[in-house]
Structure 1
């Protein structure tokens, strides 16, 4: 059964305290849409070396992605009002330091690597925090699905808007200005979010949402990784599928460029990427309005398999514009798949670990995306492009298989929606 998109998402935004918190989170998360391109351009301008720029970006990305569950765990333990402001201020100061260090030439690359590593390790987990807030504000499962869909679509659009804003800034200022603006956005958004009424509701809900004094029942001690291993099969399924999707999409970005070069149509690349993002936005909005009878694990399996098949067949496109259509079709499955993974993470999360559970899904996607780009680069030129597309789809399809044992047992007790 479906409801109208307008009514569904209006109901989400009419939820008490949601608009202020969501607006603050989006303001801060816009920084993440800008910072990667800004850092790449600023470091390249300061050092004159693409190698140095790539190295700094890799260090920044790795520390940000791999330490995300640990930072989210701090939010679960101490609450957003105590954990977010120190992280956000430190991160903003370090971005400001990078902006100063790259405002001119001659800065040692080692200094930039150190600053980038420190900045990445303090990135505030605004996405996981906002998803936990949605759970706190919206106990109704179908409406929570719409909230997660809206959140995912908005995030997708921020990562399209961010690079465009960097391009506008570059017309009037140095690339380092993008880092300074990113610092201001994340500090402002994080502080507004930490001081919002929604966070007060979170903290007033007591043991259900506040951090426990020790590990949740059934969760082994020993760090974030141990917590994931003890979180249950459905949680590991959500992370595995998220990582598989990230792997497929990370490779797809590079394969699209290779396809355009082979077809001598470089102008098609922005259109393909826009189709992917636009399709994801449309798919996410439609998915959020449907009341599903199938369990979330079943939906995740189906979505991942179909997405993998679409990625594999996209490489057979006979014409660049067919590739655009294939990318749009891929996009319609991306946001629903990730939304379902976040819903499963929320269903599996025990008291006081909701933020960290959502962060693991996010980490899986980002880690898969980062690793697959390098791998795809090694394959291109050694294998036919259609074969490369098929290999990019393999992790997506294989990740879906992780749900099969869960469905075969009685552990998948999730409610529809």
Structure 2
């Protein structure tokens, strides 16, 4: 065991010694931390200004719907123009949109205006996280160093989703309710500017192909995208990711709402961070001996179990009892996120794995937006139990459909026509 840990330390050390990597890691971290803060900061900001979780749930859900759309659109812009030429104009627009959002909330604009401006906030939020992964793949030599880099990327993102909501909740409890959102915007703008200024981003954004070779690359990319959209395994995986997001989004509204109603405003975001913490701890233990062993069975089973555990939160109990059931439900977050990543490599062609992963992230974000947008009004009108149980029923229904479609989650090699495999192999090597 000590030898394994020592080897891993060597891999991380090799990664850190690469030129430009330490600066890149710092700037990408600053830019990615607020991604997990935005929707919670919006939720608590609008709730304190309007006094209702119905409006704030719709607004925070609109942010996530905007992020879901913006991730895809900005990904296409990055592929076409490169990172700096694509994200720099987006950052300028985002700055203006963020200012407009503060104005809308502070002037008590109608909820329709708040939702529309929040959607634009998410749409123009710089997609630093996907861009960061691209830089690692392009700039770090393949092998153990790259594996260490991508592992760091995944772990750091999970840590941000623990710290981000908790930080947003604490800042939102300060005298000015918009403090959490203001810090989020400052970190996004400052971190993104620093990220784009790093030498690694500048180098990774340049395409080595020119003229006809570049045109052929784009044609091949479009062909792979069309294949991916017709892939039944991707359809199943995206459906599961949406269901996972709906359950997450519902809890992200209900948990802070329950905390506020119980007189614990500062705990609103901290509860979300806490259930992410139990997620990481249990995820490490679950990874040692996962069950079910077969991935195509494990995915729907985990989604159904997650829905059932969230259903326990709807049972009548004290605030302490609610927190305990929340922590228990959180244990199944990381195992699901892990299996989603594993299934991307299984059901999608290797050359399209990056886009496939982006679609899964977009699906989860879309589900988060839908969950938050629906849970807010339901909680305000009916309380926690109906809001939670509505999401539970949707989650169980999607898990049932996924179980019926589980054969589509078998390895791609088992379902892809053999004549297409050789054509993909060379492109896979150049992409990696």
Please give the range of the TM-score, normalised by the shorter of the 2 chains. Answer: 0.7 to 0.9
CA distance in 2, matches of 1:238, 1:21: 32
Relative distance call for 1:357 and 1:314 in structure 2 (3 A) is closer
Q: Tell me the CA shift for residue 341 of structure 1.
A: 2.4
Q: Quote the residue 1:25 is aligned against.
A: 28
Q: Quote the residue 1:123 is aligned against.
A: 125
After the TM superposition, which residues 96-245 of structure 1 pair with which residues of structure 2 at under 5 Å, given as runs? Answer: 96-102=99-105, 104-105=106-107, 112=114, 115-136=117-138, 137=140, 139-140=142-143, 143=148, 146-167=151-172, 170-171=174-175, 174-203=176-205, 206=208, 212-214=217-219, 216=221, 218-219=223-224, 228-230=228-230, 232-245=231-244
CA distance in 1, matches of 2:44, 2:389: 33
Q: Quote the residue 2:275 is aligned against.
A: 276
Q: Quote the residue 2:429 is aligned against.
A: none
Which residue of 62, 68, 71 maps to 1:68?
A: 71
Residue 139 of structure 1 aligns to a residue whose secondary structure is coil
Q: Tell me the CA shift for residue 132 of structure 1.
A: 2.7
| CA-based RMSD | 4.7
Relative distance call for 1:217 and 1:30 in structure 2 (3 A) is closer
Relative distance call for 1:138 and 1:345 in structure 2 (3 A) is farther
Relative distance call for 1:122 and 1:281 in structure 2 (3 A) is same
> Is 2:357 the partner of 1:358?
yes
CA distance in 2, matches of 1:197, 1:299: 39
Counterpart contact for 2:57–2:373, Cα < 8 Å: no
Relative distance call for 1:109 and 1:314 in structure 2 (3 A) is closer
Residue 175 of structure 1 aligns to a residue whose secondary structure is coil
* Count of equivalent residues: 396
For residues 105-136 of structure 1, what are the alpha-carbon distances to aligned partners after superposition, in whole Å with 9 as ceiling and x for unaligned? 46566665554343332111122222333433
More helix by share: 2
After the TM superposition, which residues 261-340 of structure 1 pair with which residues of structure 2 at under 5 Å, given as runs? Answer: 273-284=272-283, 298-299=294-295, 301-313=297-309, 315-316=311-312, 327-340=326-339
Relative distance call for 1:233 and 1:143 in structure 2 (3 A) is farther
CA distance in 2, matches of 1:105, 1:206: 50
Q: Tell me the CA shift for residue 95 of structure 1.
A: 0.8
Q: Quote the residue 1:223 is aligned against.
A: none
For residues 271-297 of structure 1, what are the alpha-carbon distances to aligned partners after superposition, in whole Å with 9 as ceiling and x for unaligned? 864542112222455678x799x99xx
For residues 19-41 of structure 1, what are the alpha-carbon distances to aligned partners after superposition, in whole Å with 9 as ceiling and x for unaligned? 43332222122333333344345
Q: Tell me the CA shift for residue 265 of structure 1.
A: 11
CA distance in 1, matches of 2:45, 2:389: 36
Which residue of 84, 88, 93 maps to 1:90?
A: 93
For residues 130-182 of structure 1, what are the alpha-carbon distances to aligned partners after superposition, in whole Å with 9 as ceiling and x for unaligned? 233343336338546633531442232243343145236x24xx334444332
CA distance in 1, matches of 2:107, 2:296: 49
After the TM superposition, which residues 323-402 of structure 1 pair with which residues of structure 2 at under 5 Å, given as runs? Answer: 327-342=326-341, 344-345=343-344, 348=348, 356-373=355-372, 391=393, 393-394=395-396, 395-396=398-399, 398-399=401-402, 402=405
Counterpart contact for 1:96–1:180, Cα < 8 Å: no
Counterpart contact for 1:61–1:120, Cα < 8 Å: yes
CA distance in 2, matches of 1:35, 1:340: 26
Counterpart contact for 1:63–1:121, Cα < 8 Å: yes
Relative distance call for 1:375 and 1:216 in structure 2 (3 A) is same
Q: Tell me the CA shift for residue 193 of structure 1.
A: 1.8
Relative distance call for 1:59 and 1:274 in structure 2 (3 A) is closer
Q: Tell me the CA shift for residue 228 of structure 1.
A: 5.0
CA distance in 2, matches of 1:110, 1:143: 45
Counterpart contact for 2:27–2:191, Cα < 8 Å: yes
Relative distance call for 1:143 and 1:269 in structure 2 (3 A) is same
Q: Tell me the CA shift for residue 18 of structure 1.
A: 4.1
Relative distance call for 1:26 and 1:378 in structure 2 (3 A) is same
For residues 217-260 of structure 1, what are the alpha-carbon distances to aligned partners after superposition, in whole Å with 9 as ceiling and x for unaligned? 6346xxxxx67514x34444442332221123334456768999
CA distance in 1, matches of 2:136, 2:297: 24
CA distance in 2, matches of 1:340, 1:18: 28
Q: Tell me the CA shift for residue 43 of structure 1.
A: 4.6
Q: Tell me the CA shift for residue 365 of structure 1.
A: 0.7
Of 264-273 and 6-15, the range deviating more from structure 2? 264-273
> Is 2:407 the partner of 1:404?
yes
Of 384-393 and 247-256, the range deviating more from structure 2? 384-393
